[in-house]
Every structure is written in structure tokens, then in C-alpha cells.
């Protein structure tokens, strides 16, 4: 938490740019030391999907080959202090059965996040308020904010968002890969609602009322525009890229990025390869991969041994498919090209990190959160100072969270306070 002086930082940056061989400690160790002093948050961690995997333990070290990019040992190594752990729900059918199944699973996932923290209370702590990040980091613990990726589980009852708030959710996105009851997806050409649905507008108003940060990643441009126009507090793009660098609907164009910044919001750069660089469309490949990934779901009913076996089989199948359908893979420099573009366009007050670990993120040269320090190294090389780095690595996201929390409606006297005196 202690800050280097800017003078030291600038000197360091200059030294690093020249990469002097005589430096002691080594430049990399020096950068890592600077990086470790920052409180680093990632605003989109899909890691909770692993929590119900039998035998999976966040306190043990895993590898990307085991479909894992975040665990405690690698968070420590990569200087990742925490972030927003997502309650992610794949988009299912817009039917009562589909919505109920999604709701039940999302509420269970929320409980699983809290269970992970309860189980590992010496190393993790739940965060609810903007100030909790610094408080928890000062104790040497990892910071667990909660978020929703896809509000489909709310079904037709937007007020269920209140329950998720009560459980700790402070960041929420309305939509995922396909249009749903709340609005249109960036990756769905139907344009069902031409933006947010009526329920989507209610959802946005309720986010503001509760103090939840609205997250426009995965939303269509129309939805983004309506969220920026309609929200009383700044919008976050929890894991997105720049369309000016690579034209993909999951990325944002420069005009909208400026609008986002002008309204106090922030883009957190995603490391999902297919959004960073041009990769040929291959529906056959996608279908084959989707079938493989589907096998990863429902592991929770297996024994640890069976789950391990199933995951190994999926690993082999993915290796085979990757050989059958070769595809270019983005590099760390591609990732940084998106980040540096955003930084140049809107400045270090409006850019951050949302690498989509355990949700598709990862580029050659930055395969998991253990490599997070490389972003710091690259930014120092570009001349960014420590106060900029702290903003990028979480300060901006916390500023957006603070704006949401400050605007939170004063809670009414609870109608039915729980606890005590039950008979």
C-alpha cells in the first residue's frame, strides 16, 4: 500500500526504458516489487465457475491446461489482490423453466462465492463498499467483490436484483451472448428490442437505486447508448476491447469510448483472443468447441476423481480440435495495443483491467493471472507513473463503484428485519 514517490517512479521508468544491465535488483524484480505494492483488481473474474468443481481448491496451484487461470498461489505471484467474482449464467431459453433454472443456479453460485471466502477466511474477504478494497488489502487478504454476468436469472421479476445485492453483488451486466428479456446483445444480430427492453430500463433504474454499477460489456451499442443516457451513475465495461484496434461487436468504438469517459465511466480491457485480433469465422469449429465445453458443465455431481478424468478428456479433445482447426492467437502485445489505444484516447482515469480469466481470457505471453505484472511492466515502459498505475489497476473501478454507492437511495426502514426471537 505504501506509495513510491513520483520521482522514484519516474526515475524507475526511465531506467527501465533503457533496461540497464547493471541494475540491482534486476529490472524485472524491481517492476514486480512496484507491481506488488499496487492494490490490483480485475473487474471480471469467471473463477466462481470452478468453485463447485469437485476437488478443485482455490488455495492450490492449477494451470491453464486444467482450465484454470486464477487461484490463490497465482494471485499472489501475479500481484492480483482481487476483483469482481462473477455470477455468470449462460443465456438459456426465455421460458419459465429456463428462467427458473437460471435463477436457482445463480443464487447457488452466489452462495458458493461466499462459501469459498468463508472457507478461506485467512486469505480472502468479501468486499461490499468501495473502501473495503484498501482495508482488506492492508490485511494482506484477497478482495472478493461480487458481480453478475447476464441478468437473465432475474426472470420476469427485476426485484430479484435486490436479493443479489443483499448477497453482495455490486456490479451487474444485463445481457450475455444473445438478446434476452432485458435487451439486445452485442453478438446477436436480431436487435430484438433496439436497445433495452422495458424491463431493462427498470433494471437500470434499480441498479442506480441499489448502488450497483451497471456493466455494459456484452451489451449492444444501442443498449450501451441507453445505459449511458439513462444511468444516474457512470457505466463500467467490465471486460471489453477497442473497435478501433479490432472491429468486433464485443469491442467499443472510439466515439462511445469517449462518451463513456466523459460520463465518468471506465473500460476494463479484456484478454479474450478472438476479440483482440482478426480470426476467421468458423462456425464448424465453434460448434465443435461448444460441444466440448458443454462437457465441463455439470461436473459438480461427479466425484473428484471422475471430474479430474472428465477434465483431462476435455483437455485432450481441445488439443485435437485446436490442431484440426488452427486459429491465430493474440499475443500480449495485441492485448496491450487495445489498452494503450484506450489510454491514449481517454487517459488513465478511464481504463482498467478485466482480463476474463476463467471465462475465455488469455493470450500468448499472458496465460493466467500470474502474469499480471507484465501489464505494469509495459505501462511503466510507456511512461505511466505509479498513481496512474493504481488508477488503472482498480482505482478507476472503485471510483465508479463509489459513484454508484454514493447515489444509492437511502434504505427504507426494513419491513421485516430477520433474526432473533424466532419461535
Partners of 353 in the beta sheet? 269
List of E strands, 150-275: 169-173, 213-214, 236-242, 251-252, 266-269
Place of cell 447508448: 225
CA distance 97 to 100: 5
CB of 422 to its own copies, least distance (A): 4
Note whether 177 binds its own copies by CB under 8 A.
Answer: yes
Who contacts 252 (Cβ-Cβ below 8 Å, separation ≥6)? 224, 237, 240, 241, 242, 243, 260, 267
Instruction: Please identify which residue in 12, 69, 89, 180 interacts with its own copies, judged by CB under 8 A.
Output: 89
CB of 421 to its own copies, least distance (A): 4
Note whether 318 binds its own copies by CB under 8 A.
Answer: no
Note whether 283 binds its own copies by CB under 8 A.
Answer: no
Note whether 104 binds its own copies by CB under 8 A.
Answer: yes
CB of 124 to its own copies, least distance (A): 11
CB of 128 to its own copies, least distance (A): 12
Instruction: Please identify which residue in 15, 76, 167, 345 interacts with its own copies, judged by CB under 8 A.
Output: 167
Place of cell 490442431: 323
Who contacts 244 (Cβ-Cβ below 8 Å, separation ≥6)? 253, 254, 341, 345
Note whether 70 binds its own copies by CB under 8 A.
Answer: no
Nearer to its own copies, 5 or 95 (CB): 95
Who contacts 318 (Cβ-Cβ below 8 Å, separation ≥6)? 289, 292
Read off the C-alpha cell for 30. Answer: 524491481
Region from 97-105, 196-204, 219-227, 332-340 binding its own copies, contact rule CB under 8 A: 97-105
CB of 399 to its own copies, least distance (A): 25
Instruction: Please identify which residue in 4, 23, 101, 244 interacts with its own copies, judged by CB under 8 A.
Output: 101
CB of 331 to its own copies, least distance (A): 19
Q: Are strands 213-214 and 142-149 parallel, antiparallel or unpaired?
A: unpaired
CA distance 1 to 81: 11
Note whether 285 binds its own copies by CB under 8 A.
Answer: no
Nearer to its own copies, 126 or 379 (CB): 126
Contact in structure between 77 and 36 (CB atoms under 8 Å): no
Note whether 414 binds its own copies by CB under 8 A.
Answer: yes
Residue list 358-387, contact with its own copies (CB under 8 A): 358-360
Contact in structure between 252 and 224 (CB atoms under 8 Å): yes
Q: What angle do CA 304, 307, 54 make, to 5 degrees?
A: 45
Q: Beta-carbon neighbour count of residue 368 at 10 Å? A: 23
Site string for its own copies, 7-36 (x = CB under 8 A): ------------------------------
CB of 52 to its own copies, least distance (A): 7
Note whether 95 binds its own copies by CB under 8 A.
Answer: yes
* Site residue total, its own copies (CB under 8 A): 69
Region from 70-78, 93-101, 324-332, 368-376 binding its own copies, contact rule CB under 8 A: 93-101
Give the three-state DSSP class for 142.
Answer: strand
Contact in structure between 113 and 51 (CB atoms under 8 Å): yes
Place of cell 498461489: 73
Region from 13-21, 27-35, 286-294, 332-340 binding its own copies, contact rule CB under 8 A: 286-294
Q: Give which of 4, 397, 413, 58 is closest to 238, Cα–Cα.
A: 397
Note whether 171 binds its own copies by CB under 8 A.
Answer: no
Instruction: HSE, CB side, 13 Å, CA atoms: give it for residue 175.
Output: 34
CB of 8 to its own copies, least distance (A): 38
Residue list 38-67, contact with its own copies (CB under 8 A): 46, 49, 52, 67
Radius of gyration of the chain (CA): 21
Note whether 223 binds its own copies by CB under 8 A.
Answer: no
Site string for its own copies, 110-149 (x = CB under 8 A): xx--xxxxxx-x---------------------------x
DSSP symbol at 141: P
Nearer to its own copies, 18 or 118 (CB): 118
Binding stretches for its own copies (CB under 8 A): 46, 49, 52, 67, 86, 88-93, 95-98, 100-111, 114-119, 121, 149, 152, 157, 159, 162-163, 165-167, 176-177, 272, 290, 293-294, 296-300, 356, 358-360, 412, 414-423
Amino acid at each position: 500500500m505504501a506509495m513510491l514517490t513520483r520521482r522514484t517512479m519516474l526515475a524507475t521508468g526511465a531506467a527501465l526504458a533503457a533496461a540497464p544491465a547493471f541494475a540491482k535488483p534486476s529490472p524485472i524484480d524491481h517492476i514486480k516489487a512496484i507491481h506488488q505494492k499496487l492494490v490490483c483488481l480485475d473487474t471480471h473474474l469467471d473463477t466462481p465457475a470452478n468453485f463447485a468443481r469437485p476437488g478443485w481448491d482455490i488455495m492450490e496451484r492449477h494451470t491453464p491446461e486444467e482450465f484454470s487461470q486464477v487461484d490463490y498461489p497465482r494471485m499472489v505471484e501475479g500481484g492480483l489482490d482481487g476483483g469482481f467474482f462473477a455470477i455468470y449464467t449462460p443465456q438459456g431459453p426465455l421460458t419459465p423453466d429456463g428462467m427458473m433454472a437460471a435463477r436457482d443456479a445463480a443464487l447457488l453460485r452466489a452462495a458458493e462465492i461466499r462459501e469459498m471466502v468463508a472457507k478461506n477466511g485467512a486469505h480472502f474477504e468479501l468486499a461490499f463498499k468501495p473502501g473495503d478494497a484498501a482495508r482488506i488489502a492492508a490485511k494482506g487478504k484477497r478482495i472478493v467483490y461480487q458481480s453478475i454476468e447476464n441478468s437473465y436469472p432475474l426472470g420476469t421479476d427485476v426485484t430479484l436484483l435486490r436479493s443479489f445485492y443483499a448477497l453482495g453483488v455490486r456490479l451487474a451486466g444485463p445481457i450475455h451472448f444473445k438478446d434476452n428479456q432485458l435487451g439486445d446483445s452485442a453478438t446477436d444480430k436480431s436487435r430484438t428490442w433496439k436497445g433495452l427492453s422495458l424491463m431493462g430500463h427498470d433494471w437500470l433504474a434499480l441498479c442506480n437505486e441499489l448502488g450497483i454499477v451497471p456493466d455494459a460489456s456484452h451489451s449492444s451499442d444501442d443498449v450501451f447508448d441507453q445505459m449511458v443516457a439513462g444511468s444516474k451513475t457512470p457505466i463500467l465495461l467490465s471486460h471489453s476491447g477497442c473497435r478501433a484496434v479490432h472491429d468486433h461487436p464485443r469491442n467499443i468504438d472510439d466515439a462511445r469510448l469517449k462518451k463513456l469517459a466523459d460520463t465518468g465511466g471506465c473500460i476494463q480491457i479484456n484478454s479474450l483472443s478472438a476479440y483482440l485480433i482478426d480470426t476467421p469465422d468458423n462456425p464448424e469449429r465453434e460448434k465443435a468447441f461448444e460441444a466440448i465445453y458443454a462437457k465441463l458443465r455439470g461436473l459438480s455431481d461427479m466425484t473428484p476423481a471422475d471430474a479430474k478424468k472428465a477434465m483431462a478428456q476435455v483437455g485432450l479433445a481441445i488439443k485435437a480440435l485446436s490442431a484440426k482447426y488452427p486459429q491465430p492467437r493474440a499475443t500480449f502485445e495485441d492485448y496491450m495495443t487495445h489498452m494503450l489505444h484506450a489510454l491514449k484516447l481517454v487517459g488513465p482515469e478511464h481504463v482498467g483491467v478485466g482480463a476474463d480469466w476463467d471465462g475465455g481470457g488469455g493470450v500468448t505471453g499472458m496465460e493466467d493471472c500470474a502474469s499480471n505484472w507484465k501489464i505494469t511492466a509495459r505501462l511503466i515502459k510507456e511512461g505511466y507513473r505509479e498513481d496512474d498505475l493504481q488508477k488503472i489497476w482498480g482505482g478507476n473501478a472503485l471510483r465508479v463503484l463509489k459513484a454508484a454507492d454514493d447515489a444509492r437511495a437511502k434504505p427504507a426502514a426494513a419491513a421485516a428485519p430477520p433474526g432473533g426471537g424466532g419461535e
